[in-house]
Chain A
Amino acid sequence: MTTATHDHDHDHEHHGPAKGLTRWLYTTNHKDIGTMYLWFSFAMFLLGGTFAMVIRAELFQPGLQLVQPEFFNQMTTMHGLIMVFGAVMPAFVGLANWMIPMMVGAPDMALPRMNNLSFWILPFAFAMLSSTLFMEGGAPNFGWTFYAPLSTTYAPPSVTYFIFAIHIMGASSIMGAINIVATILNMRAPGMTLMKMPLFVWTWLITAYLLIAVMPVLAGVVTMMLMDIHFGTSFFNAAGGGSPVLFQHIFWFFGHPEVYIMILPAFGIVSAIIPAFARKRLFGYSSMVYATASIAFLSFIVWAHHMFTVGIPFLGEAFFMWATMLIAVPTGVKVFNWVTTMFRGSMTFETPMLFAICFVVLFTIGGFSGLMLAVAPADFQYHDTYFVVAHFHYVLVPGAVFSIMAGVYYWLPKWSGKMYNETLGKVHFWLSFVGVNVLFFPQHFLGLAGMPRRIPDYALQFADFNMVSSIGGFLFGASQLLFLYIVVHTIVAGKPAPAKPWEGAEGLEWTVDSPAPYHTFSTPPKID
């Protein structure tokens, strides 16, 4: 009895983590929750990746070999949903959880219990979504954009589970976003003015506002679907006086800001890593902040560029074309700033830097194809072809995903207190770099030659590039298992890391020990 009390006091004094499974279930610690988000998103990345492997295997050769069209459509749908909502978004929230309190000198997130809730509802949402694969009629098969009426009148019964899963994911994202805004606005250490915040904090602040603005719109559109399916309304049913085009307007009003939600935090990560390894301050800090804000604003007024072929009037078409092309300007500013940061620096090329540089180059290529897609008359030729598939995978895989990997390599020493194996990290980078380009670059050619997206089988003239693309896909997929090995190996057997493993790194997170103590900045740091 005495011993137990003593132990309890002992734990209390050191504010260490609880023991066992309940540590993870009940935790309100931003570092624990960040860790769970990151592992969860990696698990989803592997699951969504497995679906992608099925897709690429079926498309390896013309003809139907492995799966039937019904199942193929379930794979494309589930791949998209899991990667967007399960892999990329939770990974960024995980990074935000770990890093934002440490970057602004706060002891924890502003709303720790809500933080726990926003994570723990996610596994249920994805368990429910994945379970649809085993239901009669199969999983959702209408694409991750779930256009009505294919997703309402013509949907399999499992669509209702899909709608509920989306609601839960939306609730989780909104709670996460509110928490991040509250933390950044209220919990900064004295002296940490807004314009002194690291760019990762800035980009996440803006992203969080985007999330709060558009997640309810997504919830609204799936609720309207639910009403159409079960309660006899006709929002999207033409026979009842509704319009399928209304669905697309609402979906893309959510959907376009959503794609910036998946890229703005990436800008923040890269803006931390490039200066660190160029050993030179980030060029144009304030213009980076303004550019991010402009991109976020513009993201609300360009949604119909996803709908150039639905038959919107000439003036509407022209407006959305011009507004979309305008986004290239602030995006260009960011790229120019990164390059100028590298110019006349003193660079070294450790794994985080390799991923960050690769991000700048390949994200820019994705931006170029984005500019081409913005040109409405030309978009009539690109729309819904593999050119679009190539475009958004370039901004999402070597864009968002590589930035996350860069961030993991950069901050893993801080999280785990151990260094990863640099050679293995570089091998992982080069395999991923070659894999991703062999996978997605030929898809530009496929699209231009006329191959529509979301088809399980294709005409013979598309055979060669599809085979190349599939080979790249298998290489890229396999390389990510190496990533898993590297991270596990680091945690289990890595060499101890110093508090600041990177010579040129800047920021409060490097002023605390590695691994970061369970509670940091219980007394706010001094900022000059």
Chain B
Amino acid sequence: MPDVQRFLTDRFGDAVTRTVFRDNVRYVVPAHRLIEVMTLLKTEAGFDYLAEIAGVDYLHYPNATDRYGVIYGLANTETAERVFVKVLVNDPDPRVPTVYPLWKGADWMEREVFDMFGVVFDGHPDLRRILMPEEFTAYPLRKDYPLRGRGERHNFAPVNRAES
């Protein structure tokens, strides 16, 4: 684990901040340096497996400074170490560069974060909605989206007996 720390501080200095919570190592990275950090973690520090991508909306969260977070869970398949890389972005234009060139598996995970939170992944080859219907316009996991929606679920024409 000190190796990773040394790699990152040598290369990025103060741009990457490290925190530890119950043995989980987290690195907060600015969005414009994400690709550099991820490339280094993959090629030199051995974190070759992208386990997950999560989105977070920090609206109403105590002491939060930024609105959205995109969190990458990486694993080292040799040593079973894990790190979490966080990118914080804000309205009105939440953008994060895609990690699809590094891990092909990021394709659908980034599409899901885009679908639920509206975070745009620059350079993604096919950034479409993955779970919600194509014509859906909102981002339902944002905290300011009402639980019952804005009437999308009942926006269909009924079929009655005589015409069916």
| A interacts with B | no
